[in-house]
Structure 1
Amino acid sequence: MLVFSLVSVILYLVLRVVHVYWVRPRSLEKQLRKQGIRGRSYKLFHDDMKEMSTSSREAWSKPMSLNHQIAPRVLPYFHQMIQKHGKVSLGWMETRPRLIVTDPELIKDILVNKNGHFVLQPVNPLVKLLQLGVSTLEGEQWAKRKRIIKPAFHIEKLKCMEASFVTSYSGMIDRWKKLIGVEASREVDVAPEFQKMATDVIARTAFGSSFEEEKLFELQRKQAALSREAYYGFYFPGLRSVGHFY
């Protein structure tokens, strides 16, 4: 009897693994193909992450041309998928199909949809712990958080912030002028400059002072870095409790 039970459990686990890692993804892919959606085929234990990392390294290793076509630089993998497969392309995140949508009408339908058909994809529990913004919430939690922050983005409130915006922008331009000095031209890395400007704007509008909350923003940057590590890492349920057994 014990042997039969053990065999049954092993058989169930094997069938479960086969269903999760092969049958279900292939079935979902087949349904999406029937709807005319093109993209990458599902491969066992091989999702988009490696290609995303490779394409990003290749794009960032080359000088960026001076134009407004930033997609090949910022999101090279998605840009390649769209160029190859169309405005709605199929990719994979582990065993989950992922649609890359660039059709404006479809994007609008997704963003304004209130029927519950479009839900957030499951994420690593560590990411949920570290990243508790509106973008990660759903249902009543999302609605409650939105009600709290909505007044801050009212047009009249934003108009009152105009002076703070101008002060921060002027400060950034003055810094650039000092960097250039008497030279006719000079290369400036604008990424940290814009980050500094955004920090200054938030500090002025939310706290009424410039950079007095710098430590808070530094902690948020560290938190964002931890969230990225958790997003791309592996999560083992119950691992944090292992230490309690010793």
Structure 2
Amino acid sequence: METYFSILLSILLFPVLVIAWSALNWVWIRPRKLERILRLQGFSGNPYRFLYGDLRDSSLMLSQARSRPSSVSDDVKTRVLPFLNQLVKTQGKNSFMWLGPIPRINIMDPSHLKEILSKIHDYQKPDSNPLFKLLLEGLVNHEGDKWSMHRKILNPAFHMGKLKLMLPAFHSSTNQLVSKWEEMLSFKESSEVDIWPELQDLTRDVISRTAFGTSIEEGRKIFQLQEEQSELALTAARSVYIPGWR
């Protein structure tokens, strides 16, 4: 009987030990090993911090940057990518950052970028938060032959002749926005405008006219839902993705 219970206990403990070892390897052993390899290859970066890496600092800096008012003369990098901008300043161009327990190398040499983009089978895209698949599915995350096929399908849409056909839609959307601002000024000498939502609507209107042959008013609800979904996905991306946690 004791032998039977010993065997049963061993069978039950084995998968627990395997899961525990896999988790330890994911959050500590493998990141530390990769950090040593990257530093030996001449890359610099912040020391790995358990589970979160640089995510917390990156999220905090981004929130602080967006909470401050900005002007036209401000450096856009400090607002859009504040953590990466600081990292390059302190660690240099040959640097890496931690997205949770996964390091990301910053590729800033144009010749290296050209090589990576031309060898689609050798350099595959890093895994990202699966929630992003709710937002986009295409060239951004396809690999190999599937990527080549989608790029071949999309290329004709960006030929000069096709882009010229879109100019009337661009002109119409822009003209409506300028007319709206002029109407605001017709009642008073000056008027303050929050330009960000106005430019968002301009972009949406152009997309609606060129891609779907309609105006933004008919697709406003869809754009609003996509915006909410984007905010939720970006919030999740600033934290470590643990399968099943969300």
CA distance in structure 2 between the partners assigned to 1:133 and 1:210 by the alignment: 25
Q: Is the contact between residue 88 and residue 100 of structure 1 (CA under 8 Å) also seen in structure 2? A: yes
CA drift at 1:49: 1.9
Match of 2:62 among 37, 51, 56: 56
TM-score after normalising by structure 1: 0.82
1:118 to 114, 123, 127: 123
Q: CA–CA distance in 1 between the matches of 2:61 and 2:74?
A: 20
Letter in 2 for 1:154: H
- Greater Cα offset, 208-217 or 176-185: 176-185
Instruction: Indicate yes or no: 2:143 matched with 1:138.
Output: yes
**Equivalent residue number for residue 76 of structure 2:** 70
| Aligned residues between the structures | 238
Letter in 2 for 1:153: F
Query: Could you tell me whether the CA contact under 8 Å between 2:173 and 2:205 is conserved in 1?
Result: yes
Go from structure 1 to structure 2 and tell me whether the alpha carbon gap of 1:58 and 1:232 turns closer, same or farther (over 3 Å shift): closer
SS of aligned partner of 1:92? strand
Question: Which one scores higher on RCO, CA 8 angstroms, separation ≥ 6?
Answer: 2
Query: Do 2:173 and 2:202's aligned partners in 1 also have CA atoms closer than 8 Å?
Result: yes
Do structure 1's residue 158 and structure 2's residue 163 form an aligned pair? yes
Q: Any idea what the Cα deviations from partners look like across 1:130-182, whole Å, max 9, x if unmatched?
A: 43232122223322322322221111100111121122122222222333446
User: Hey, what does 1:244 align to over in structure 2?
Assistant: none
User: Do residues 39 (structure 1) and 45 (structure 2) align?
Assistant: yes
Partner-residue secondary structure (3-state), 1:91: strand
Question: Which range moves more in the overlay, 112-121 or 181-190?
Answer: 181-190
Contact map agreement 2:28 2:51 (CA 8 A) in 1 = no
Matches within 5 A, 1:1-246: 1-67=7-73, 69-110=75-116, 112-181=117-186, 185-211=190-216, 212-232=218-238, 234-237=241-244
Q: Give 1:102 deviation, angstroms.
A: 3.4
CA contact (8 A) 1:88 1:103 kept: no
Cα separation, 2, equivalents of 1:43 and 1:101 = 22
Q: Which runs of 5+ in 1 are unaligned?
A: 241-246
Kindly report the root-mean-square deviation, in angstroms, between the aligned alpha carbons of the 2 structures. 2.7
How far has the Cα of 1:206 moved from its partner?
Answer: 2.0
Query: Do the aligned partners of 2:169 and 2:206 also contact (CA within 8 Å) in 1?
Result: yes
Structure 2 vs 1, CA of residues 4 and 201 (structure 1 numbering), >3 Å: closer, same or farther?
closer
Distance 1:9 1:219, change over 3 A: closer
In structure 2, how many angstroms separate the alpha carbons of the residues matched to 1:62 and 1:124? 28
Cα displacement (A) at 1:208: 2.5
Give the superposition deviation at 1:205: 1.4
Deviations 1:6-41 (A, max 9, x none): 454444444333322222111111111112111111
The superposition leaves residues 174-204 of structure 1 with CA deviations (integer Å, 9 ceiling, x where unpaired) of 2223334465554432221111111111122
Structure 2 residues without counterparts, runs of 5 or longer: 1-6
Q: Could you say what secondary structure the match of 2:214 adopts?
A: coil
- Write the distance in 1 (CA, Å) between the matches of 2:185 and 2:53: 45
Pair 1:30–1:113, CA change in 2 (3 A): farther
Distance 1:131 1:84 in 2: 33
1:42 to partner: Cα distance: 0.8
In 1: Cα distance, 2:35 partner to 2:125 partner: 19
